[in-house]
Amino acid sequence: MRILLVGEYSNLHNSLQAGLLANGHEVTLISTGDAFKKLPSDVLIKAKRIEESRLLQTLRKGVFKITKFDIATLEIGYRTLDWLVDQTQFDVIQLINEYPFKTPYFIERRIIKRLRQLTPKLVILACGDDYIYLNNIDQLTYHPILQHPDIDFPYSKKYLTAAHKKYHELVFELKDLIISTDLDYHPIYKGRTDYYGLIPNPIKLDKFDNVKNTANKRIVIFHGVNRSNYYKKGNYYFDSALCIIRQKFGDRIKLICVTSLPYAEYIDSYREADIILDQTYAEDQGYNALEAMAQGKVVFTGAGASFCERYQVASNSVAIHTIPDAKKIAQDLEELILNPQRIAEIGTHAMRFVQEHHNYLKVAEHYVSAWNSIKSDDAVSASSEAQKSGTKNSKTQE
């Protein structure tokens, strides 16, 4: 199959690409690299002209300060369209999210229509914020918007605006299938006729060298922060819990705290860690948590009741289920510090769990099965709609 993977937030599409390539498919990944994360991509779309000009960068900052609009997204959008103009048909095109490039809606619509023209099968992942997910957060046990009504989450709330709703409706009219990536999205999409189901995140197991802390060393606790997601991921609760732990066990632990690192540096920065503090609002593990688990780390993340039921594992056996409660987090950390053998046990179970359920080669096969489930008649119909209302195959298209 000839496949185009569109967008990247976490390394999910990179790992899926590796699995698909190993299974004999032709795969291209196009993305922006997701800002400071600098995630790799075959086709990396950047606002080069703006980023390389001191004058335009000054203008960019001034415009954003006044309007909250980033003019770099205009260049990203038009560079994406320019690349798409010359592309030929793909058997499958998959979007990391319904809004993969985050360009102005009038450009993003043109991108989506062009992608639809290029394939008989257009698939969207329920991954990250989207319109349906954010309109149903009341179904979740915890969510930062519900937990912190006094804090503004402008990035998330953009998905609830009338402008985004209009864009969302276009995308969902043109798509063929939705696939969720973990249990935070699955219950919200479950029951929709266009929903395939949950496919676990693919993890490329052979890329990690497991580094084990020795028994003579202090227990190493790692806390990585994405500055823009500080409250969204619950980092505030981790910081509060660490204040408690430092006072009680300062001589028995080593803390590593980093902020907004590129992906490659982030992975390297926690190599010696025993415990990873990931997030407090999830029911299932996200990508960063799974990559850490694959290395035998004990991860504080989502591993709630629905997760344990689905995978038939005992509570806190492969990861520590974490809720937005600093005292509870501190208690769980204290238990591990006082019983360091538990760190080794959970780490071993975590590695085995990822090997069994997230092997990138098996997950890639699962994706191919999902794509093959798309009925050709439905796909042709959606593609025809895009041809009728879509953009012309020209660099001057409007």
Same fold? 2-202+359-389, 205-357: yes
pLDDT digits (tens, 9 = 90+) for 154-205: 889 999 999 999 999 999 999 999 999 999 999 999 999 999 999 999 999 8
- In the numeric block, which tokens belong to residue 200? 């676990």
* Cα distance between residue 275 and residue 293, in whole Å: 10
Q: How confident is the model at residue 391 (pLDDT cuts 50, 70, 90)?
A: very low
Question: What pLDDT is stored for residue 35 in this prediction?
Answer: 86
CATH class held by domain 205-357: alpha beta
Residue 33 zone, left/alpha/beta (φ > 0; ψ -120 to 50; rest): left
Domain boundaries, the chain: 2-202+359-389, 205-357
HSE-up of residue 54 (Cα within 13 Å, Cβ side): 0
Q: How far is CA 217 from the centre of its chain?
A: 33
Which two three-digit tokens encode residue 234? 């619950």
211 falls in which pLDDT band (50, 70, 90)?
A: low
The model scores a pTM over 0.85:
yes
CATH of domain 2-202+359-389: 3.40.50
DSSP, collapsed to helix, strand or coil, labels residue 12 as helix
| SS3 state at 143 | coil
CA distance readout (Å), 67 to 63, 70, 155, 202: 6, 8, 14, 38
CA distance 314 to 306: 11
Burial class (CB in 10 A: 0-12, 13-18, 19+), 340: middle
pLDDT digits (tens, 9 = 90+) for 265-316: 999 999 999 999 999 999 999 999 999 999 999 999 999 999 999 999 999 9
